[in-house]
Amino acid sequence: MPVYVWFHGGGSRVGSGAQPLFDGTVLAKQGIVVVTVNYRLGIFGFISSTALSAESGYGGSGNYGFMDDIAALTWVQRNIARFGGDPRRVTIGGESSGAVTASVLMSSPLAAGTFAQVIAESGTAFRVAAPGSMGAVNLKGEEARGDAFFAKLGATDLAGARALPTQAILDATRQVDPINFFNLPVVDGHVLADGPWRTFARHKQNDVPLLVGWNSGEGSMQLMFMDKFGPLPDVLKGYYGVAADQVAPLYPGAPDDPHLLIKAAGDYGFGYPNWKWAMAQAQFGKAPVYVYEFDHAPPVPEGYFGPKFDSRLAGAYHGSELAYVFGTLNTEPKWAVGDVDRRISAQMSTYWANFIKTGQPGGPGLPAWPSYDPAHGPQRMHIAAETAAGPDPDFALFTTLKAAHDRIDPPEPGAALP
């Protein structure tokens, strides 16, 4: 039987593959062996330092969580046949930081031969992490951050760092940066020989079929969790710096319009980076790529996200597709689930199952889902109450965002990047 190996999200800081949301029963009933993976998180999974690099044997450090994922895939290759699975038919998948994992593994020489297909929901390493990063952060910069972090805790060598209490380390990471500290892929010369963009542009990716997409309301979590988000000119300046003037005409309207803010935030953090990944595979790979946007607002009650946020603005928020993909709508007891939700869930789980089994999502009784072909009119699947494929409505917008990103993160001279 085909195998689906799932990597959970959570910003590479929190989460578990054992969440009821990821119950694989619905997929298993369609003839798939489902495997969920846990991996090291936060500082324990992603810290770099000069001392760690010196002892590694390859001159790099960080990416330990990704090494756990590769170890899990190696285990699957060796053992999944005992569970009825076919090691030649392994699909890896993930959401949010789990999708970042999938993009790293698709870019990693260490993962070659451990999987045959990739599914990615709302996440990728194809994102500007820092100027010049090309989709992953610089090792030297991360080593310096790690060295400074350990020094602040009074650890002058690795022995001292390893003797620190676990809770003290966790508390210190939250004090420095509770969101983005030690959770990013690093070009370590081992897991990643180069940034994902350059890897694909040089045809060195693990060239396998890819199903990738995002949700229409990804940016709503910015309004949910930030005390102040906006006005739009400030947001665009923060995202695009000197290129903000190039991007501003893409989002006409009132500067405090929450719908515009949600669209701009979603495009920056999820839509554009995942489109970039799809374009890289379409342009530099031989295997097909399929692109979707999930555009169905779950039936959440008022107050679902707390008293300060209007739930009607959430839309298809980050992670909201998961219960539909896994057929676990029953894990959301506050949702007023109806027939439309159940129909969309049945469609999505079947699309995903078809892709896992055959390498393409289409099948009998489902709206046709063509591959994404920029040279002949790219088609994107719109998953909603009326699911259908059509011309990608964001293609021109994302093309402009690409030009803006190239201004703040210039392509390497001589590299033919997508």
In a domain, 164, yes or no: no
User: For the whole model, what pTM was predicted?
Assistant: 0.95
Q: Which residue has the tokens 């698709």?
A: 106
The enclosing H or E element of 198 equals: helix 196-201
The dihedral built from the CA positions of residue 272, 275, 277 and 280, taken in this order, carries a sign that is negative
In a domain, 415, yes or no: no
In a domain, 118, yes or no: yes
* 347 and 366 Cβ atoms separated by less than 8 Å: yes
* 96 and 52 Cβ atoms separated by less than 8 Å: no
In a domain, 255, yes or no: yes
> Residue 375 phi/psi, 5° resolution?
-75, -20
265: which strand partners?
Answer: none
In a domain, 177, yes or no: no
Task: Indicate the residue type of 1.
Answer: M
Quick check: helix, strand or coil at residue 224? Answer: helix
Q: Report how many domains make up the chain.
A: 1
> Residue 8 phi/psi, 5° resolution?
-70, 160
In a domain, 107, yes or no: yes
In a domain, 156, yes or no: no
CATH of the domain at 335: 3.40.50.1820
User: What are the pLDDT tens digits along the chain (418 aa)?
Assistant: 999 999 999 999 899 999 999 999 999 999 999 999 999 999 999 999 999 999 999 999 999 999 999 999 999 999 999 999 999 999 999 999 999 999 999 999 999 999 999 999 999 998 754 444 445 678 998 999 999 999 999 998 999 999 999 999 988 888 876 555 678 899 999 999 998 989 999 999 999 999 999 999 999 998 898 878 999 999 999 999 999 999 999 999 999 999 999 999 999 999 999 999 999 999 999 999 999 999 999 999 999 999 889 899 999 999 999 999 999 999 999 999 999 999 999 999 999 999 999 999 999 999 999 999 999 999 999 999 999 999 999 999 999 999 998 888 765 443 444 4
In a domain, 108, yes or no: yes
The enclosing H or E element of 3 equals: strand 3-7
Q: Active-site positions?
A: 96
Domain span holding position 383: 3-149+184-408
The dihedral built from the CA positions of residue 153, 154, 155 and 161, taken in this order, carries a sign that is negative
